[in-house]
């Protein structure tokens, strides 16, 4: 399927700082000695690594290794769990996301999230896409219409749903729903996309579409993806981080980690001997 | 060894036998529900079916025994053995233990009783005379009579022998009934509006005078204007009153001369007759029409004769308005409380305690809520409102006495736990994914609540409301303390300004049933009305519930979250 490559000549009145288009910041996100706890249970221990701008970074590792928890730390969604706490720091463009000055709502607009199970609201397709804009206080119909079209094109969904914009989103197929969730997130023009196993509930064709989409998305967004699927990590990501029991075992270019793993555990995992 | 293998081989599971018990429990419950509902419906529905009226010739002993004339007419009601308790110390009641047939004999003012029950020995002959008429009267119930003639207001007469007597009779009656309605409208609406205005001006006048001397110039001017307006209103009132009186005089002009079965002649003003029909001459189609007409009158008219006759419209309307008001009060109150409990309050021992208290509130006997409503809403808040806003009217209480508003609030308080519990469950059932999606889109907690949680839990909330309505609409005990009355002179919503009278006392179907069946001096005559009212109350609750269920299903379709 061909993706209607979106061009973005117009920037809507969004409360976003314009991205630098040319240079890539190698230390766009810095994770510094970050540990995370649910009550007394430590889920992540002393992680330190940097994530480059506008690349796809995959988090892999066996179930329960904490990769989803880490992903949910970037938009502080873990805070919804009672009794959770963390030490260390995560910085985006040098600014700590745990800083008292930072508004968690603006953080979540900068770091949009797509979940394992697609979760469109039980509203129309249109209402789903504009949700983030409406809660941000954007009301102008013309602006909303334009962003809906742009976002749906950006999520490679426009051609399929343009005639059904006012139908309930739950009438879409599973893959379409997941792409709708992506459209909903990119509508607010985030800098970072957090993808939490976005294809685990989809069939191979829908998965293929999403993966193609990720290639497009990384031109504009910094993409972090959690996946259980080694091939998927190899196909879509530029860098891969392997986690085991809350620790970062290996973090290198994807090619290197799959072809030439340094750590025996990484090798065992990527070759499918455990996990 | 063999015993064990036998046991294992036997194709039944231990405990299967209990399935029988559960099935039987269900059957027993269904039989009770269907039996009760069927019985009530049957008895309620046949009330208005026109049955034949028989003329009975009583034996000499029976005439003496019951103090009845030789011939009476009656509607057969049923048969049961005569109770043989001694009528005096040493004399048993004659015919004790024998089956007796019970009749509604009408003509209460002539016979002294509306019912008679006779054994077969006591009845000499039974006939079904064709020209017998049933006259529904506005006083003393039905009369069974033979018409002689109608004396018209213009001095003319219509003889009962003329072939179209009944048609002419009906036309005349129709005219009189129309006129009666016109008089009622005149008195209730036109004169009511004038009295309302007069009352308002008088109250204002009293308020100004209460300020005491000296009267300021602006007040004096106002008083003068009030005086002027009052005299204008009184003139208009006199015009309407005159009109009403002249109409009334016309009403009493025509009479029906009739003969009772035993031959006694009598006459009755047509103004006192509601309807007539010849029960023994009706074919099935006419009976159906009469039935529908009776049902219609029952649903749309006001009660007569201490509620044993006429319609029950005010009670239906009162129940409906009260239930709607209660729902309007309980829904926001319960939802807001549940939102705080479930979404905002820090979960801990205190919230648990609050939750348990709310649950227990649902188990408090309703009469306790009635007492609370009387003390808190009526005396405390109502009294407070009166002394603040209606002090000119004191000592006549406006809100400081029972009324439909306080009754609705009392019931809302009683049913709020149901709504809270249902709402909390519905909130918990909103998929966590939607909540997270909303937060991840940058929505605040309040935005998430308003845009995702409340729409998502609306079907559950409405289920709670349905349960609350089902409980509230049928509740009687607390209402007796906070505003329900046996007979309300006017409806809580009508054409007299300010149109919505929330301070008014009202009638309620549940209380109507209680009052008719168990407080009426004429319980026997009221029995059919009790059944009819009960069917109606059940129907009203069912209709309200179906309305809420349809709304819920609509919302469920709209806000459904299916899992693929």
Task: State how far the Cα of B362 lies from the Cα of B406, in Å rounded to an integer.
Answer: 19
pLDDT at A6 over 70: no
Task: State how far the Cα of A160 lies from the Cα of A33, in Å rounded to an integer.
Answer: 45
Of A109, A113, A122, the CB nearest to B456: A122
| Per-residue pLDDT tens over the stretch B176-203 | 888 888 888 888 788 888 888 888 888 8
pLDDT band, very low/low/confident/very high, at B521 (cuts 50, 70, 90): confident
- Contacts of A117-120 with CB under 8 Å at 24 or more apart are A117/A201, A117/B433, A118/A174, A118/A177, A118/A178, A118/A180, A118/A181, A118/A201, A119/A181, A119/B431, A119/B433, A119/B434, A119/B436, A119/B437, A120/A169, A120/A170, A120/A172, A120/A177, A120/A180, A120/A181, A120/A184, A120/B437
Q: What is the DSSP string of B124-162?
A: EEEE--TT-EEEEESSSSEEEEEEEEEE-TTS-EEETTS
Task: State how far the Cα of B367 lies from the Cα of A211, in Å rounded to an integer.
Answer: 66
Best mutation target among B440, B454, B455, B562 (most A Cβ atoms within 10 Å) is B440
The conformation of residue B500, written as its DSSP 8-state character, comes to B
Chain A hits for B449, Cβ within 8 Å: none
Distance from CA of A112 to the nearest CA of B (A): 6
Nearest residue to B480 (alpha-carbon basis) of B369, B364, B314: B369
| Per-residue pLDDT tens over the stretch A190-219 | 889 999 988 887 888 888 888 988 888 888
| Per-residue pLDDT tens over the stretch A129-164 | 999 888 888 888 888 999 999 888 888 888 888 888
* C-alpha torsion sign, points A71, A72, A74, A78: negative
Of A108, A122, A168, the CB nearest to B442: A108
ipTM, two decimals, is: 0.83
pLDDT at B11 over 70: no
Q: Does A181 touch chain B (CB under 8 A)?
A: yes
Query: Average of pLDDT values for B490-502?
Result: 76
| Per-residue pLDDT tens over the stretch B131-167 | 888 888 888 888 898 888 888 877 788 888 888 888 8
Superfamily (CATH) of domain A29-270:
P-loop containing nucleotide triphosphate hydrolases (3.40.50.300)
Scanning every residue of chain B, which has its alpha carbon at the shortest distance from the alpha carbon of A122? B559
Percent with pLDDT over 70 in chain B: 93
Distance from CA of A162 to the nearest CA of B (A): 21
A contact residues 218-247, partner B, Cβ 8 Å cutoff:
none
Nearest residue to B463 (alpha-carbon basis) of B542, B540, B548: B548
Chain A hits for B559, Cβ within 8 Å: 122
CB spacing of A106 vs B456 below 8 angstroms: no
pLDDT band, very low/low/confident/very high, at A5 (cuts 50, 70, 90): very low
Distance from CA of B352 to the nearest CA of A (A): 17
The conformation of residue A65, written as its DSSP 8-state character, comes to S
Write out the E strands in chain A: 29-38, 41-51, 56-60, 84-92, 95-96, 111-114, 192-196, 222-226, 239-244, 247-253
Q: What is the DSSP string of A123-182?
A: SBHHHHHHHHHHHTT---HHHHHHHHHHHHHHTT-HHHHTT-TTSBGGGS-HHHHHHHHH
Domain spans of chain A? 29-270
Of A115, A135, A136, the CB nearest to B436: A115
Q: Does A80 touch chain B (CB under 8 A)?
A: yes
pLDDT band, very low/low/confident/very high, at A13 (cuts 50, 70, 90): very low
Task: State how far the Cα of A183 lies from the Cα of A187, in Å rounded to an integer.
Answer: 6
Residue B47, pLDDT score:
85
Residue B7, pLDDT score:
57
Mean pLDDT value across chain B? 84
Task: State how far the Cα of A124 lies from the Cα of A121, in Å rounded to an integer.
Answer: 8
CB B193: neighbour CB atoms within 10 A?
Answer: 16
Task: State how far the Cα of B1 lies from the Cα of B5, in Å rounded to an integer.
Answer: 7
pLDDT band, very low/low/confident/very high, at B353 (cuts 50, 70, 90): very high
Chain B residues contacting A, CB < 8 Å? Answer: 347, 431, 433-444, 447, 451-452, 455-456, 558-562, 564
Task: State how far the Cα of B304 lies from the Cα of B300, in Å rounded to an integer.
Answer: 13
The conformation of residue B380, written as its DSSP 8-state character, comes to I
CB spacing of A188 vs B441 below 8 angstroms: yes
One-letter-per-residue 3-state SS of B263-316: CCEEEEEHHHEEEEECHHHCCHHHHHHHHHHHHHHHHHCCEECCCCEECCHHHH
Q: Which helix (H) or strand (E) holds B116?
A: strand B115-119
Residue B136, pLDDT score:
87
CB spacing of A105 vs B455 below 8 angstroms: no
Chain A hits for B443, Cβ within 8 Å: 105, 131-132, 135
Chain A hits for B438, Cβ within 8 Å: 121, 131, 135
Chain A hits for B564, Cβ within 8 Å: 174, 177, 201
pLDDT band, very low/low/confident/very high, at B68 (cuts 50, 70, 90): confident
| Per-residue pLDDT tens over the stretch B23-44 | 899 999 999 999 999 999 898 8
CB spacing of B441 vs A131 below 8 angstroms: yes
| Per-residue pLDDT tens over the stretch B384-401 | 888 888 776 667 777 778
């Amino acid at each position: 399927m061909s993706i209607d490559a979106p061009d973005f000549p117009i920037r809507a009145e969004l409360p976003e700082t314009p991205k630098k288009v040319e240079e890539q910041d190698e230390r766009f996100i810095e994770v510094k000695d970050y540990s995370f706890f649910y009550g007394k249970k430590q889920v992540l221990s002393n992680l330190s690594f940097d994530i480059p701008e506008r690349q796809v970074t995959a988090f892999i590792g066996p179930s329960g290794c904490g990769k989803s928890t880490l992903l949910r730390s970037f938009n502080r969604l873990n805070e919804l769990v009672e009794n959770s706490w963390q030490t260390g720091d995560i910085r985006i463009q040098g600014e700590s996301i745990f800083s008292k000055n930072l508004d968690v709502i603006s953080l979540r607009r900068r770091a949009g999230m797509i979940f394992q199970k697609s979760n469109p609201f039980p509203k129309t397709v249109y209402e789903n896409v504009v949700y983030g804009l409406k809660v941000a206080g954007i009301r102008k119909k013309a602006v909303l219409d334009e962003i809906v079209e742009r976002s749906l094109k950006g999520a490679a969904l426009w051609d399929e749903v343009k005639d059904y914009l006012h139908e309930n989103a739950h009438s879409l197929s599973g893959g379409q729903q997941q792409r709708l969730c992506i459209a909903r997130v990119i509508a607010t023009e985030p800098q970072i996309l957090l993808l939490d196993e976005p294809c685990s509930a989809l069939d191979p064709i829908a998965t293929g579409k999403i993966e193609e989409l990720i290639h497009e998305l990384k031109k504009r967004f910094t993409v972090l993806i959690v996946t259980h699927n080694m091939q998927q990590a190899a196909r879509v990501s530029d860098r891969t981080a392997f986690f085991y029991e809350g620790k970062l075992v290996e973090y290198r270019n994807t090619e290197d980690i799959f072809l030439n793993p340094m750590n025996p555990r990484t090798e065992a995992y990527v070759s499918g001997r455990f996990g | 060894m063999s015993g064990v293998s036998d046991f294992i081989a036997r194709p039944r599971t231990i405990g299967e036998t209990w399935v029988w018990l559960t099935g039987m429990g269900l059957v027993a419950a269904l039989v009770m529900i269907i039996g009760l509902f069927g019985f009530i419906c049957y008895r309620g529905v046949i009330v208005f079916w026109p049955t034949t009226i028989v003329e009975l010739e009583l034996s000499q002993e029976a005439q003496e025994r019951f103090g009845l004339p030789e011939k009476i007419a009656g509607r057969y009601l049923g048969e049961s053995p005569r109770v043989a308790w001694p009528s005096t110390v040493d004399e048993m009641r004659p015919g004790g233990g024998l089956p007796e047939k019970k009749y509604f004999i009408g003509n209460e003012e002539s016979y002294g009783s509306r019912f008679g029950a006779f054994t077969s020995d006591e009845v000499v002959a039974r006939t079904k005379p064709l020209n017998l008429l049933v006259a529904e009267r506005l006083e003393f119930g039905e009369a069974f009579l033979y018409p002689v003639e109608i004396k018209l207001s213009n001095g003319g007469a219509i003889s009962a022998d003329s072939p179209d007597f009944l048609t002419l009779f009906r036309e005349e009656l129709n005219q009189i009934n129309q006129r009666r309605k016109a008089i009622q409208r005149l008195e209730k609406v036109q004169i009511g509006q004038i009295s309302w205005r007069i009352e308002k001006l008088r109250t204002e006048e009293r308020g100004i005078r209460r300020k005491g001397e000296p009267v300021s110039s602006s007040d004096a001017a106002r008083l003068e204007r009030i005086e002027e307006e009052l005299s204008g209103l009184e003139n208009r009132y006199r015009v309407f009153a005159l009109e009403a009186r002249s109409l009334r005089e016309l009403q009493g002009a025509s009479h029906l001369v009739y003969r009772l079965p035993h031959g006694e002649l009598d006459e009755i003003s047509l103004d006192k007759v509601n309807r007539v029909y010849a029960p023994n001459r009706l074919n099935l189609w006419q009976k159906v029409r009469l039935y529908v007409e009776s049902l219609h009158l029952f649903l749309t008219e006001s009660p007569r004769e201490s509620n044993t006759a006429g319609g029950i419209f005010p009670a239906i309307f009162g129940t409906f308005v009260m239930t709607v008001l209660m729902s309007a009060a309980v829904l926001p109150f319960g939802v807001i409380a549940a939102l705080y409990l479930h979404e905002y309050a820090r979960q801990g021992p205190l919230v648990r305690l609050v939750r348990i208290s709310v649950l227990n509130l649902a188990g408090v006997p309703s009469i306790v809520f009635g007492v609370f409503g009387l003390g808190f809403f009526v005396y405390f808040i109502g009294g407070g409102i009166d002394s603040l806003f209606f002090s000119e009217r004191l000592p006549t209480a406006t809100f400081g006495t029972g009324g439909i508003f306080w009754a609705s609030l009392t019931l809302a308080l009683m049913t709020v736990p149901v709504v809270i519990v249902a709402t909390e469950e519905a909130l918990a059932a909103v998929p966590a994914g939607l909540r997270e999606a909303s937060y991840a889109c940058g929505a605040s907690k309040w935005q998430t609540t308003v845009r995702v949680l409340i729409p998502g839990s609306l079907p559950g909330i409405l289920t709670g409301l349905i349960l609350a309505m089902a409980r509230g609409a049928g509740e009687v005990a607390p209402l007796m303390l906070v505003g329900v009355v046996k007979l309300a002179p006017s409806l809580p919503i009508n054409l007299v300004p300010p149109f919505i009278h929330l301070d008014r006392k009202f009638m309620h179907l549940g209380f109507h049933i209680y009052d008719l069946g168990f407080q009426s001096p004429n319980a026997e005559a009221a029995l059919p009305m009790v059944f009819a009212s009960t069917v109606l109350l059940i129907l009203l609750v069912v209709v309200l519930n179906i309305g809420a269920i349809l709304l819920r299903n609509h919302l469920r379709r709209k806000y459904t979250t299916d899992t693929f």
